[in-house]
Amino acid sequence: MNAEHDLSFHAMGSEIRLLIGSPLVASASPAEEAASRERAYIEDFAARLSRFRSDSELCALNADPRERVPASLLLRAAVSAAVWAAQRSGGLIDPTLVGALERLGYERSRDGERPAPLTESLALAGPRRPATPDPAGRWRAISIDETAGVVARPVGVRIDTGGTGKGLCADAVAHRLRRYSRFVVDCGGDLAIGGVGAQLDPYEVEIEHPRSGETIRVIRVGAGGVATSGVNVNLWSDALGRPRHHLIDPSTGEPAWTGVIGATALAPSTLEAETLAKMALLAGPAGARRVLERYGGLIVHDDGDVEEIGPLDAPVGVLAHPGSAA
């Protein structure tokens, strides 16, 4: 195997890692230069789509009093990805829950803060039940007019692209690295893997247990997306000592305690893998089995038991995402 350039940095509230092999064509820049270029792309992506920066394009969209708002190609792609995930999940993943997140205490970035203890939080959490979509389904009123370059939504409906942003970003960077022999784009646990070299010699991806952090499974992936969703990362207690996390039940506006504390999904794209992982966690154990059976994945139950689902070691195909970002 040829040596790969390995670059890690912090962005999007997460640790980002890029592994880039040798160029396949003479016109492609060296891997080190490509890594620097993609770091700049990811940092720009994060700044423009942050819910926590008042100067971001996303915050400007959410504050705009017009129903139809001019939007950049990047913002349109991010909103399109969020709506796609809502459609794919039947509304289980809802990008219009900004108000609920803020009421729960996620009105600011918790980057760098130590999460609340998972075991104690689970002991204090409410009854376990699958999350369900909000019957109002406000996300259905969001549309993107690519010809006019606008995002349309009812005034007052705010959009959160954070749930799908990392998957979209990983896919976009993977597309930009298509002229390299092999690569991994790791956006905080949302991985895009590709290149002909990776298909010949797949990468080993370690899946961690949300309770212990120990590796519970190693899967070999040569192409496609891998994503993990868990309640353990953004976990805090409110003023009354109640455990809170960012994975919301759309029907209640409250944190979803479903009996699943972590879910990993494989899919042809990182955006779809991220969507399937979150769907699996929100759907609870029985729903997760249906969500993950096609491409494979695993879930971790409240008690720590690990359940593998579907063809974990089977190839899931080449990267192909529903949208693009620039």
pLDDT band at 48 (very low <50, low <70, confident <90, very high): very high
Report the C-alpha gap between 318 and 303 in whole angstroms.
35
Q: Where are the domains of the chain?
A: 5-309
Q: What is the pLDDT of residue 323?
A: 36
CB atoms within 10 A of CB 71: 23
Which has the minimum average pLDDT: 20-24, 246-250, 315-319? 315-319
Provide the pLDDT for residue 315: 59
Q: What percent of the chain has pLDDT over 70?
A: 95
Query: 14: which strand partners?
Result: 11
User: What is residue 112's predicted lDDT score, i.e. its pLDDT?
Assistant: 84
Q: Which helix (H) or strand (E) holds 206?
A: strand 203-208
- Find where tokens 């944190």 sit: 255
**C-alpha distance from residue 27 to each of 30, 86, 179, 197 (Å):** 9, 39, 9, 19
Confidence band (pLDDT; 50, 70, 90) for 99?
very high
Rounded mean pLDDT, 94-123: 93
For the segment 286-295, what is each residue's pLDDT rounded down to a tens digit? 999 999 999 9
Model pLDDT, residue 321: 36
Q: What is the mean pLDDT of residues 187-211?
A: 95
pLDDT at res. 317:
52
What integer pLDDT is reported at residue 202 of this predicted model? Answer: 95
The average pLDDT across 114-118 equals: 94
Mean pLDDT of the chain: 94
Distance CA 163, CA 143 (A): 18
Dihedral angle computed from the Cα positions of residues 151, 152, 158 and 164, in that order, rounded to the nearest 10 degrees:
-50
Dist. CA 17–CA 169, nearest whole Å: 13
Place of tokens 């789509």: 49
Model pTM? 0.94
Is 127 a residue whose pLDDT tops 80? yes
Q: Taking a C-beta distance cutoff of 8 angstroms, is the pair 188, 226 a contact?
A: no
DSSP 109-123: --TTPPPPPHHHHHH
Segment 173-186 mean pLDDT: 97
Q: Of 161, 189, 139, 151, nearest to 81 (Cα)?
A: 161
Q: What is the pLDDT of residues 262-286, one digit of tens each?
A: 999 999 999 999 999 999 999 999 9
Residue 311: band (very low, low, confident or very high) from pLDDT cuts 50, 70, 90: confident
Tell me the DSSP string of 19-45.
EE--BSSTTSPPHHHHHHHHHHHHHHH
Give the CA distances from residue 40 to residues 35, 47, 190, in Å, rounded to whole numbers and listed in that order: 9, 11, 18
Q: Which residue has the tokens 């600011």?
A: 108
In this prediction, residue 319 carries a pLDDT of: 44
Does the pLDDT value for residue 326 go beyond 70? no
CATH architecture of the region 5-309? Roll (3.10)
Residues 241-253 have pLDDT tens digits of: 999 999 999 999 9
CA atoms within 13 A on the CB side of 91: 13
Residue 110 confidence class, pLDDT cut points 50, 70, 90: confident
